[in-house]
């Protein structure tokens, strides 16, 4: 039998390293699969050079997201990597089209559901929120490849849990900008003060939603690199495993 929650009507989640693991090892697996799936790339560009360009582009993407309402898409990322390789002197003109065509398959193959995720989503789906209506669930993810994310969510059986799925690569806005959280809340029909956000990154998943009045929970299950930021006091409940979320909510501590 479902429980009743007295303070919130919705729980919104981050995806990577919150509901699914995406560790440095997973990231390297993706880059390797992507590299070897591009026809002719191995002969044109050594892997270390491709990896260096990939990392440069990811750093540039993150820099842009911090300063503007922007998110890379697969085509922009592919063009940026091609341009980086050309600057390094490689014959990479025209490769962006092949990068774009192979990105989704390589990325999707590296995604898997985290331990405890389905159990927690099942439990929350059976609960009632403060309004007395079923608790609503949403997903707000920073991801350039929205097609890969949606394919994975469908294939893994997670899609049906969410009344709203907002992916930065689709909407052109990334966390921590308030607009991306507001899109998810609007789709669920819930106000910020009646919603909880759960994520693994302090700036994007704690500070971002807090700025619009959402409650937050900081998860440490996958030990995300650089988290928590040095010298930061986490001003939110901290959980070590996704399964710890349900009792935290039931006790009214989140």
Label each residue of 186-217 as H, E or C. HHHCCCHHHEEEEECCHHHHHHHHHCCCCEEE
Question: Is 231 part of a structural domain of the chain?
Answer: yes
Question: Is 1 part of a structural domain of the chain?
Answer: no
Q: Same domain, yes or no, for 117 and 186?
A: yes
Distance CA 26, CA 28 (A): 5
Q: Same domain, yes or no, for 87 and 125?
A: no
Q: Under 8 Å CB-to-CB from 188, ≥6 apart: which residues?
A: 10, 12, 136, 138, 163, 164, 195
Burial 41-64 (b: 16+ CB within 10 A, else e): beeebeeebbeebbeebbeebeee
Q: Same domain, yes or no, for 128 and 180?
A: yes
The order of strands in the sheet holding 164-167 is 164-167, 136-141, 10-13, 195-199, 215-219, 238-239
Q: Same domain, yes or no, for 205 and 245?
A: yes
Question: Is 64 part of a structural domain of the chain?
Answer: yes
- Give me 11's structure tokens: 């729980």
160-204 confidence digits (pLDDT tens): 999 999 999 999 899 999 999 999 999 999 999 999 999 999 999
C-alpha gyration radius of the chain: 19
Q: Same domain, yes or no, for 146 and 232?
A: yes
Closest by alpha carbon to 104, among 29, 30, 50, 170?
30
Domain boundary among 75, 108, 141: 108
Q: According to the model, what pLDDT value does residue 63 have?
A: 84
C-alpha distances in Å from residue 219, one per residue of 30, 126, 160: 24, 22, 23
Question: Is 89 part of a structural domain of the chain?
Answer: yes
Q: According to the model, what pLDDT value does residue 64 have?
A: 84
- Give me 103's structure tokens: 């990105």
Banded pLDDT at 1 (limits 50, 70, 90): very low
Q: Same domain, yes or no, for 117 and 231?
A: yes
Q: Same domain, yes or no, for 163 and 47?
A: no
Distance CA 72, CA 62 (A): 9
- Please work out, in degrees rounded to the nearest 5, the angle formed at the alpha carbon of residue 202 by the alpha carbons of 164 and 19: 45
Q: Same domain, yes or no, for 83 and 134?
A: no
Tell me which residue range forms the domain holding 133.
Answer: 10-22+112-250
Banded pLDDT at 3 (limits 50, 70, 90): low
Burial 141-171 (b: 16+ CB within 10 A, else e): bbbbbbbbbbbbbeeeebeebbbbbbbbbbb
169 membership: H or E segment, kind and range: helix 168-171
Q: Same domain, yes or no, for 127 and 53?
A: no
Domain boundary among 55, 89, 108: 108
55-90 confidence digits (pLDDT tens): 999 999 888 877 777 778 999 999 999 999 999 999
Q: Same domain, yes or no, for 72 and 140?
A: no
Q: Same domain, yes or no, for 169 and 238?
A: yes
Question: Is 5 part of a structural domain of the chain?
Answer: no
Question: Is 3 part of a structural domain of the chain?
Answer: no
Q: Same domain, yes or no, for 97 and 192?
A: no
Q: What is the number of domains present in the chain?
A: 2
Higher pLDDT, residue 253 or 32: 32
Banded pLDDT at 4 (limits 50, 70, 90): low
In the 8-state DSSP scheme, what is residue 20? B
CATH number for 215:
3.40.50.1000
Domain boundary among 108, 141, 161: 108
pTM: predicted TM-score of the whole model, two decimal places: 0.93
Question: Is 2 part of a structural domain of the chain?
Answer: no
100-120 confidence digits (pLDDT tens): 999 999 999 999 999 999 999
């Amino acid at each position: 039998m479902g429980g009743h929650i007295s303070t919130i009507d919705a729980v919104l989640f981050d995806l990577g390293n919150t509901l699914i693991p995406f560790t440095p090892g997973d990231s390297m697996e993706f880059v390797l699969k992507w590299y070897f799936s591009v026809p002719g790339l191995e002969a044109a560009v050594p892997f270390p050079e491709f990896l260096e360009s990939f990392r440069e582009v990811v750093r540039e993407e993150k820099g842009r997201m911090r300063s503007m309402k922007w998110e890379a898409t697969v085509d922009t990322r592919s063009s940026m990597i091609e341009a980086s390789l050309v600057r390094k002197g490689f014959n990479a003109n025209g490769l962006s089209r092949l990068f774009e065509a192979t990105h989704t398959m390589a990325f999707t193959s590296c995604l898997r559901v985290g331990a405890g995720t389905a159990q927690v989503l099942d439990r929350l789906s059976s609960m009632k929120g403060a309004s007395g209506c079923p608790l609503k669930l949403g997903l707000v993810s920073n991801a350039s490849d929205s097609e890969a994310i949606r394919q994975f969510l469908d294939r893994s059986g997670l899609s049906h849990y969410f009344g709203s799925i907002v992916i930065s690569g689709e909407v052109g806005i990334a966390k921590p900008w308030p607009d991306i959280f507001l899109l998810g809340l609007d789709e669920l029909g819930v106000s910020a003060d009646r919603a909880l956000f759960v994520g693994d990154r302090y700036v994007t998943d704690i500070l971002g939603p807090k700025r619009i009045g959402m409650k937050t929970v900081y998860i440490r299950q996958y030990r995300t690199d650089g988290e928590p930021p040095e010298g930061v006091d986490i001003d939110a409940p901290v959980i070590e495993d996704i399964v710890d979320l349900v009792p935290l909510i039931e006790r009214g501590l989140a």
